[in-house]
Amino acid sequence: MTRTSPAETPLGDSFHVYDTTLRDGAQREGITYSATDKLAVARLLDSVGVGFIEGGWPGALPKDTEFFARAAAGELQLRHAALVAFGATRRPGAKAETDPQVRALLDSQAPVITLVAKSDRRHIERALRTSVEEAAAMVADTVSFLTGQGRRVFLDAEHFFDGYAHDPDCALRVLSAGVEAGADVVVLCDTNGGQLPLGIAKTVAEVVERTGFRVGIHCQDDTACAVGNSVAAVQAGATHVQCTANGYGERAGNADLFAVVANLVTKLDMPVLPTAALSELTRVSHALAEIANIAPDAHQAYVGTAAFAHKAGLHASAIKVDPDLYNHIDPATVGNGMRVLVTEMAGRASIELKGKELGLDLAGQGEAVTRTVRKVKELEARGWSFEAADASLELLLRGEMSTPDGPQETVSPPFVLDSYRVVLDHRPDGVVISEATVKVHVGGERVIATAEGNGPVHALDAALRKALLPHLPWLASVQLIDYKVRILTEQHGTDAVTRVLVESSDGQAEWTTVGVHGNIVEASWLALCDALAHKAMRVETLTTH
Ligand SMILES: CC(=O)SCCNC(=O)CCNC(=O)[C@H](O)C(C)(C)COP(=O)(O)OP(=O)(O)OC[C@H]1O[C@@H](n2cnc3c(N)ncnc32)[C@H](O)[C@@H]1OP(=O)(O)O
Ligand SMILES: CC(=O)C(=O)O
């Protein structure tokens, strides 16, 4: 693996998208990548065409050493990116060629090496306990040793912005030492993440003008401005931007790769990724969250599942006319999609758009739409919530729709409840068992069934299945895959109501239903009944069309 610059990317070596998920991203609390995870992350990052992938710090972390060894042995074939090893310069007073950490960088066989160097006088004197002259010599010696060995070298100037504000000559001296010794890019790091966009832009522009060096940017997110700071730096002249997937990183994180590149491409018209890659961003962001074992952030800009989800009725009414009126870009550009949420904030347009999303023909259904809006608002005021329960909403809307002949098209329930009873049995041996009996009318018969379960809802579900299965064979494929309970104390003070969301699957589709009641078992029952009614409706639609 000898590539030292990005391949097959529109801007080639003139602009660098540099990813440090595997080094700085791994510094986030809660992330621990194995070497195998790292290889998988690198492949995904390469698939979206980032120019450089910083794999870690060989010699400092055994897993990183293993990652580079496995990459060099052929386990990592990168199509676009060049692989980078990260590490520190030689120690004060040492020789670069014999410093074990510098040797480990060389041994990693990475074609590109990023060296971190302190550029703030206070850090040099207090943390490194050395002089500015020696700090510059540490940089110069290490860069020239590594470039002499045929490696491309970038220099991460740690604490640059704070250091430049405190003592600009010292900060620039460190940069000059790197460039004069052969470093290609000096990366100005906002290590403490305390900067704001205007300040970043001013300093970057000033450094570019004063030095003429190729400048990169590395922003931490401690002011929640890492993405804005990175974009501002690029606008001010930086041609190398360091980011991490989903903004993973130490403390509050780093600049989010996906937001930074999407901003550069869609707002500044800079083709920093291969053309086809942009529409892969959402998929890759979620896949990387999976490997990091972190739930994807639904509200993440561009790639979150809620990034283009519209809840307010006024928004929906304009979106009905033209989605561009409330979307800052076409969501498909980044591989995402638009959704309309139906809640108490819905208006008629929200229901019309949701109906379209659900494949319902609402032409001539103006009254049904109005009634549905009213019902949703009334129900939500009592604790129901439809935004995550499309299946219950669809049943409600269909229930309000008229047929061409006039009468309402009621969604015929697959069974009619006579009664149910649940008892809890605390046995002498301490085992607690629930037992449920259901009495239902199904297929023209009255059926009674009893079953046990480890909780009341489990027992109820088991008894209902027992009663219905002989009459509704499709039930065998329906599984309850998620069950969420929320106690809504705010609704009635001490008289709390319970909201239950049930997610079901038949192996092909997944759907969510909701039930609300003062009693948790009844709330669960209502959600369960909607789940079966929704499946029955789909079975009926399939058999009648
Ligand atoms: C801003 C950033 O995020 S940079 C990336 C930081 N990442 C990490 O620290 C993760 C990996 N780190 C490690 O595994 C360990 O800290 C190691 C292997 C690098 C060093 O471990 P140790 O030798 O035990 O030293 P320790 O971590 O206590 O202190 C770091 C040493 O490096 C020195 N140092 C710090 N920055 C630099 C630098 N840019 N160049 C050279 N030396 C440096 C410190 O002065 C300190 O020296 P000292 O041991 O003489 O006091
Ligand atoms: C190099 C780096 O990670 C920083 O300065 O924040």
Structure tokens at 508: 């092909």
CATH topology of domain 12-292: TIM Barrel (3.20.20)
Rounded Cα distance, 497 and 471, in Å: 34
Q: The domain 415-471: what is its CATH number?
A: 3.30.160
Q: Per-residue pLDDT tens for 459-470?
A: 999 999 999 999
CA of 253 to the centre of ligand 1 (A): 20
Q: Per-residue pLDDT tens for 37-51?
A: 999 999 999 999 999
533: Cβ contacts below 8 Å, ≥ 6 apart: 395, 411, 413, 414
8-state DSSP, 507:
S
Structure tokens at 202: 């001013």
- The protein residue whose alpha carbon is closest to atom 3 in ligand 2 is 24
In this structure, the number of other CB atoms found within 10 A of the CB of residue 64 comes to: 25
Contact 488, 498 (CB under 8 A): yes
Domain boundaries, the chain: 12-292, 309-400, 415-471, 479-545
Phi-psi region of 212 (alpha: psi -120 to 50; beta: other; left: phi over 0): left
Q: Which CATH architecture has domain 479-545?
A: 2-Layer Sandwich (3.30)
- The protein residue whose alpha carbon is closest to atom 46 in ligand 1 is 128
In this structure, the number of other CB atoms found within 10 A of the CB of residue 493 comes to: 7
Q: Per-residue pLDDT tens for 246-300?
A: 999 999 999 999 999 999 999 999 999 998 999 999 999 999 999 999 999 999 9
- The protein residue whose alpha carbon is closest to atom 44 in ligand 1 is 128
Structure tokens at 412: 């015929």
Q: What is the pLDDT of residue 438?
A: 97
Q: What is the mean pLDDT of residues 417-427?
A: 94
324: Cβ contacts below 8 Å, ≥ 6 apart: 330
> Which ligand 2 atom is at minimum distance from the Cα of 187?
1
> Which ligand 2 atom is at minimum distance from the Cα of 24?
3
Strands 215-219, 185-190: pairing kind: parallel
> Which ligand 2 atom is at minimum distance from the Cα of 220?
6
Question: Model confidence at 346, in pLDDT bands (50, 70, 90)?
Answer: very high
Q: Per-residue pLDDT tens for 424-449?
A: 999 999 999 999 999 999 989 999 99
- What angle, 0 to 180 degrees and rounded to 10, lies between the N-to-C axes of helices 390-400 and 348-357? 110
SS3 128: coil
How far, in Å, are 318, 339, 519, 521 from residue 305 at the CA level?
A: 21, 9, 32, 31
Contact 490, 499 (CB under 8 A): no
Choose which residue among 156, 175, 223 to substitute to test ligand 2 binding: the one with the highest number of ligand atoms within 8 A of its C-beta.
Answer: 156
Q: Is the pLDDT of residue 384 over 60?
A: yes
SS3 216: strand
Ligand nearest the Cα of residue 155 is 2
Question: Model confidence at 413, in pLDDT bands (50, 70, 90)?
Answer: confident
Structure tokens at 281: 């961003």
pLDDT, mean over the chain:
94
Question: Model confidence at 404, in pLDDT bands (50, 70, 90)?
Answer: low
CA of 320 to the centre of ligand 1 (A): 56
Q: What is the mean pLDDT of residues 158-166?
A: 98
Q: Per-residue pLDDT tens for 165-224?
A: 999 999 999 999 999 999 999 999 999 999 999 999 999 999 999 999 999 999 999 999
Q: What is the mean pLDDT of residues 419-424?
A: 95
Ligand nearest the Cα of residue 114 is 2
Which residues line ligand 2 at a C-beta cut-off of 6 Å? 24, 116, 156, 158, 189, 191, 218, 220
Ligand nearest the Cα of residue 221 is 2
Choose which residue among 220, 222, 223, 243 to substitute to test ligand 2 binding: the one with the highest number of ligand atoms within 8 A of its C-beta.
Answer: 220
Q: What is the pLDDT of residue 540?
A: 78
In this structure, the number of other CB atoms found within 10 A of the CB of residue 518 comes to: 13
Rounded Cα distance, 303 and 249, in Å: 18
Q: Which residue has the higher pLDDT, 531 or 411?
A: 531
Q: Per-residue pLDDT tens for 3-28?
A: 999 998 899 999 999 999 999 999 99
- The protein residue whose alpha carbon is closest to atom 4 in ligand 2 is 191
533 lines ligand 1 (CB under 6 A): no
- The protein residue whose alpha carbon is closest to atom 23 in ligand 1 is 60
From the list 80, 281, 54, the residue with the least C-alpha distance to 153 is 54
Choose which residue among 189, 229, 254 to substitute to test ligand 2 binding: the one with the highest number of ligand atoms within 8 A of its C-beta.
Answer: 189
- The protein residue whose alpha carbon is closest to atom 11 in ligand 1 is 60
- State the ipTM, two decimals: 0.95
Q: Per-residue pLDDT tens for 355-365?
A: 999 999 999 99
Choose which residue among 29, 54, 116 to substitute to test ligand 1 binding: the one with the highest number of ligand atoms within 8 A of its C-beta.
Answer: 116
- What angle, 0 to 180 degrees and rounded to 10, lies between the N-to-C axes of helices 257-266 and 226-235? 40
Question: Model confidence at 406, in pLDDT bands (50, 70, 90)?
Answer: low
Q: Which residues pair with 485 in a beta bridge?
A: 500
- Matching fold, domains 12-292 and 415-471: no
In the chain, % of residues over pLDDT 70:
96
Question: Model confidence at 1, in pLDDT bands (50, 70, 90)?
Answer: low
Contact 160, 190 (CB under 8 A): yes
Q: Is the pLDDT of residue 151 over 70?
A: yes
